[in-house]
Amino acid sequence: MASHLPPRPTAQQNQADAGGMAVDEHHHYGPRGLKRWLLTTNHKEIGTLYLIFSLTMFFIGGIFAMVVRAELFQPGLQLVEPEFFNQMTTMHGLIMVFGAVMPAFVGLANWMVPLQIGAPDMALPRLNNFSFWLLPVAFALLLSTLVMPGGAPNFGWTFYAPLSTTYAPPSTTFFIFSLHLAGISSILGAINIIATILNLRAPGMRMMDMPLFVWTWLITAFLLIAVMPVLAGVITMMLLDINFGTSFFNAAGGGDPVLFQHLFWFFGHPEVYIMILPAFGIVSVIIPTFARKRLFGYASMVYATASIAILSFLVWAHHMFVVGLPLVAELFFMYSTMLIAVPTGVKVFNWITTLFRGSLTFEPPMLFALAFVVLFTIGGFSGLMLAISPADFQYHDTYFVVAHFHYVLVPGAVFAIMAAVYYWLPKWTGHYPHTRLSQWHFWLSVIGVNLTFFPMHFAGLAGMPRRIPDYALQFADFNMVTSIGAFIFGASQLLFVVVVVLCVRGGEKAPAKAWDGAEDLEWTVPSPAPLHTFETPPHFEPHRH
């Protein structure tokens, strides 16, 4: 593949070692400037585009979250009207899920999957370009609904019918269209990743030799292929209900609003794992590097990831325990959900055993990866509590749930993405990120995240429903702490931008193998990685120890 690229000298690639700062002089042919970025088919450039896009969306979604937290700083309505508040919570969720977390993982996959398996590029480079450029279109459309008459979507990121159909603002059709585009983008990205991993591995690299980031992404891509069409189906049904008078979700015409929830969560629960499995992969790559010790239980990690993926299709109705399910359904979904704790537990035990008797150092990527293990596990505990169906009658739709999924998504998925960025920045830019600033970023983020989300457990248990712009007085203290934490967390992400910008512009030079415990193939190419790598496949030796 990538046959339109001219042949490259190959000598430097395999044995480029420390100091191999080969600046690629040859990539300046072809279009330049804006057009170069619009038309690029290079996996590294597309990866960079994805990451920049994701960071932008992270800040836009973050601003929406700040609006929400500012309004909730104290009881009463101070800053925004309830309609606008609902638009903010909805847009925050949609942007963070589909605009920030998913594209960030796709960006990392674009950059690192070919490098980790010794491939010259993604299998389908032009498709790769197309799937990226769908995203800015999709999200420009989604954001434009904010200024449409009737306002942006205001029915929560789960858009339950009939609030999102019969009672929805006129902009809903645009919302559906933008979600279709984002979905197509994810599907194309997934096809590309699967094709790359299955066909472009370096000679000698078997499936069970692949770094875990590659493994988890392969499984994630299969999940995307399986559930994105279901999301497309659901929103198509919504579109038909809204504009063409069908009654999929409308009781008046013989439809069923609960069907919407079944379909949505049949997509939605695997979607949750789409946002966490690559994070598992990242952490499984980073921890061994800084423990200078092979990952404990590589095979069981792969099997655990696969079983989590399979189980994710059998647990969807645990989001619907209070919707009026029959007893047998409650029991089935309670048991299957509890079962997920087993493979997830295996992963956590493996990480900790990897640390055990290692030789640990605490560079910024390691700090984020360790925080991931601790805080994700806390999110896992609240997940286990939520699985207990009778207790879920009390937890459901409260801030306890909000605390739970933010623990798995922010110090879970987002921290893993940040760990990955710190880990691979030397490879991308040729410079180490500024240590002191990175540490500040880490500690402020950890403090901010816990200050934000930990009190939400208490607010939820004490009875505060989610998605409300105003609350009773007994929740005031929790909310004030949460809001302060959110502002700290939000502001400290500016530091992250500073670190990244400084790192791109200069800093301590990184050798090819930037971390001394790092073992995967990406560390055999120079830092920064030249535009074209592995055009002649590297020789891969399993278990290089």
Partner 1 sequence: MRKRIVRTAGLVACSGLSGSVLANGWNMPVGVTDVSREIHSLHMIIFWICVVIGIVVFGAMFYSLFRYRRSRGAKAANFHEHTTVEVIWTLIPILILVAMAIPATATLKTMYDASEADLDVMITGQQWRWRYSYLGEEVAFTSNMATSRSQVSGESAKGENYLLEVDEPLVLPVDRKVRLLMTSDDVIHSWWVPDLAVKQDAVPGFVNENWVRINEPGIYRGQCAELCGRDHAFMPVVVEAVEPERFDAWLAERKEAAAQEALGVDREWELDELMERGEQVYSSICASCHQPDGSGSPPAFPALAGNQAILDDPDYHIDTVVNGVSGTAMPAFRSTLNPVELAAVITYERNAWGNETGDAIQPADIAELLDDE
Partner 2 sequence: MTEQRTDDTRKGVRRTVARTLVALAGMFVFAFALVPLYDVFCQVTGLNGKTSNQAEALVHEDADEGRMVTMQFITRGSPGLPWALEAHTRQVRVHPGQSSEVEFTFENLGDEISVARAVPSVTPSEASLHLRKLACFCFQNQRLAPGERFEAPLVFQLTRDLPDDIQTVTLVYTLYRQDAAPSPGSGKQVQGGDA
**Please, which of residues 328-367 interact with partner 2 by CB under 8 A?**
328-329
**Which amino acid does the sequence have at 351?**
W
Positions in 104-123 near partner 2 (CB under 8 A) = 123
> Is residue 148 near partner 1 by the rule CB under 8 A?
no
Residue 263 touches partner 2, criterion: CB under 8 A? yes
Query: For 417, how many CA atoms within 13 A lie in the half-sphere containing its CB?
Result: 27
Q: Which stretch binds partner 1 (CB under 8 A): 37-45, 229-237, 291-299, 518-526?
A: 291-299
Judged by CB under 8 A, the chain residues 240 through 259 that form the site for partner 1 are 251-252, 256-258
Which of 167, 335, 381, 443 forms a contact with partner 2 (CB under 8 A)? 167
Binding segment for partner 1 among 54-62, 199-207, 468-476, 499-507 (CB under 8 A)?
468-476
Please identify, using beta-carbon distances, which residue of 216 and 377 lies nearer to partner 1. Answer: 377
State yes or no: residue 248 binds partner 2 (CB under 8 A). yes
- Residue 139 near residue 218 (C-beta atoms within 8 A): no
Shortest distance in whole angstroms from residue 115 CB to partner 1: 23
Residues classed as catalytic? 92, 121, 157, 185-186, 269, 271, 273, 284, 318-319, 344, 347, 466
Stretch that binds partner 1, among 182-190, 388-396, 436-444, 489-497 (CB under 8 A): 388-396
447 binds partner 2 (CB under 8 A): no
Please report whether residue 191 would count as binding partner 2 according to CB under 8 A: yes
Please, which residue, 324 or 390, has the CB nearer to partner 2? 324
- Distance from chain centroid for Cα 168: 28
Name residues whose C-beta falls within 8 Å of residue 539's C-beta, 6 or more positions apart in sequence: 14, 202, 203, 204
For residue 335, the partner it binds in partner 2, partner 1, none, with Cβ less than 5 to 8 A by kind, is partner 1
Which DSSP string do the residues of 445-473 spell out, in sequence order?
HHHHHHHHHHHHHHHHHTTPBSS-SS--G
Token reading at 15: 């044995």
For the chain, give the number of residues. 545
Choosing from 207, 208, 342, 497, the residue that interacts with partner 1 (CB under 8 A) is 342
Residue number, 221 or 285, with CB nearest to partner 2: 221
Which residues 119-138 are close enough to bind partner 1 by CB under 8 A? none
Contact status, residue 135 vs residue 99, Cβ threshold 8 Å: yes
442-to-56, 369, 446, 447 alpha-carbon distances in Å: 20, 11, 6, 9
CA count, 13 A, side-chain hemisphere, 128: 30
Q: How far apart are CA 235 and CA 227, in angstroms?
A: 13
**Radius of gyration of the CA atoms of the chain, in A:** 23
Token code pair at residue 307: 């079983």
Q: Report the nearest approach of partner 1 to the CB of residue 244 (Å).
A: 14
Q: Which of residues 507-536 bind partner 1 (CB under 8 A)?
A: none
Residue of 11, 33, 206, 326 that binds partner 2 (CB under 8 A): 326
Tokens of 135: 């995203």
User: Which residues in the 192-251 window bind partner 1 by CB under 8 A?
Assistant: 251
Cross-strand pairs, 465: 398
First to last CA, the chain: 32
Q: How far apart are the C-alpha atoms of 359 and 108, rounded to whole Å? A: 27
Task: Quote the CA–CA distance of 110 and 218 in Å, as a whole number.
Answer: 12
Interface with partner 2 (CB under 8 A): 1, 3, 123-124, 150, 165-170, 172-173, 187, 190-191, 194-195, 198-200, 203, 225-230, 232-234, 237, 241-243, 245, 248, 250-254, 256, 258-259, 262-263, 266, 324-329, 536-537
